[in-house]
Structures are given as C-alpha cells and as structure tokens.
C-alpha cells in the first residue's frame, strides 16, 4: 500500500521500563496534535497509547531489559494509526477476560484493552512472527461522515 506524500511517520524503540510509557504517551499526544485532533481527542489517543505501552512492558516483555517496545505512528489527512509492539510470548486477545463481568469488577488490572477500544475508532492485533502488536486508528472525521461523502 502506498503512503500518501503528505503522511507523517515516526518510529521509536523504547526500553522495557516504565519511563518509556511517558515517552510513548508524549509522542502520541504530539503527533495527534500535529494531525489536527482537538485537545480532548489528543488526550484520549495519548491514554490509549499509554495503556498499550504499559501492557507491552508489563505483560509482554515483563520488564526484561533485553527486550524493547516499538512505537510506530503514521498520520495521513484522514487518520492517525499507532502501533505498539512488544517482544514477549504473544497474546490471544480473544482470551482476555471481560472487564465488565461482575467477577472482574474489583480486579486491579484488565481494563487496558477495553479502554483502548473505547478511545480509538479501530483496534486490531495483526499477526506478527513474535511478540504482540496492537494497531490503533483514530479517524479525523467519524466513519459515518466519510461514508456519506463517498456516496455523494
């Protein structure tokens, strides 16, 4: 797939340590702002990336200093897509417990993916050779307005 010439791309390799979470969140917030999102949406995107990065460091890489987290950001006039990839054992998102189930209400973790899905327009876990990658997309315009423009 060709990337439009007006696309912005950034990529970072981060340590498997908690200070990397702040770096990822800040990079996402800055890219979202440059992409044209309002302040509130920039905050939601940054929180989604924060959750994904915490998951990559804690659950994926298990704080292993020999492993890294890769953060990739791509902005086009239509969308911002951010991917966070760890070097851990892999994750089957279908096996994640439902954070809204009564037995999970009081658990101290397990809501990250739920929040990411709530804050972003599209979330997927593309297959990778090793580790886990989460791809998160936020559209500059709601999908419904894009569809109506395409029908006109």
Q: What is the pLDDT of residue 2?
A: 52
Average pLDDT value over all residues in the chain = 88
pTM: 0.85
Average pLDDT over residues 84-101: 84
Q: What value does the CA radius of gyration of the chain take, rounded to a whole number of Å?
A: 16
Instruction: Encode pLDDT of 27-68 as tens digits.
Output: 999 999 999 999 999 999 999 999 999 999 999 999 999 999
| DSSP letter for each residue of the chain | -PPPTT-EEEEEEEESSTHHHHHHHHHHHHHHHHHT--HHHHHHHHHHHHHHHHHIIIIISTT-TT-EEEEEEEE-SSEEEEEEE--SS---GGGS--TTSGGGTT-SS--HHHHHHHHSSEEE----SSS-EEEEEEESS-HHHHHHHHH-
Instruction: Encode pLDDT of 6-19 as tens digits.
Output: 789 999 999 999 99
Task: Provide the CATH number for the domain formed by 8-151 in this structure.
Answer: 3.30.565.10
């Amino acid at each position: 797939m060709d990337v439009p010439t007006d696309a912005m791309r950034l990529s970072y390799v981060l340590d498997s340590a908690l200070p990397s979470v702040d770096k990822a969140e800040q990079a996402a917030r800055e890219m979202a702002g440059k992409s044209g999102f309002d302040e509130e949406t920039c905050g939601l995107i940054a929180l989604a990336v924060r959750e994904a990065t915490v998951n990559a460091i804690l659950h994926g890489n298990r704080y292993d200093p020999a492993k890294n987290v890769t953060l990739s950001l791509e902005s086009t006039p239509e969308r911002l897509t951010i991917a966070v990839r760890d070097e851990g054992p892999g994750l089957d998102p279908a096996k994640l417990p439902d954070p809204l189930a009564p037995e999970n209400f009081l658990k101290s973790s397990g809501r990250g993916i739920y929040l990411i899905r709530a804050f972003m327009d599209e979330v997927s876990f593309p297959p990778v050779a090793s580790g886990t990658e989460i791809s998160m997309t936020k559209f500059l315009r709601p999908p419904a307005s894009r569809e109506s423009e395409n029908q006109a």
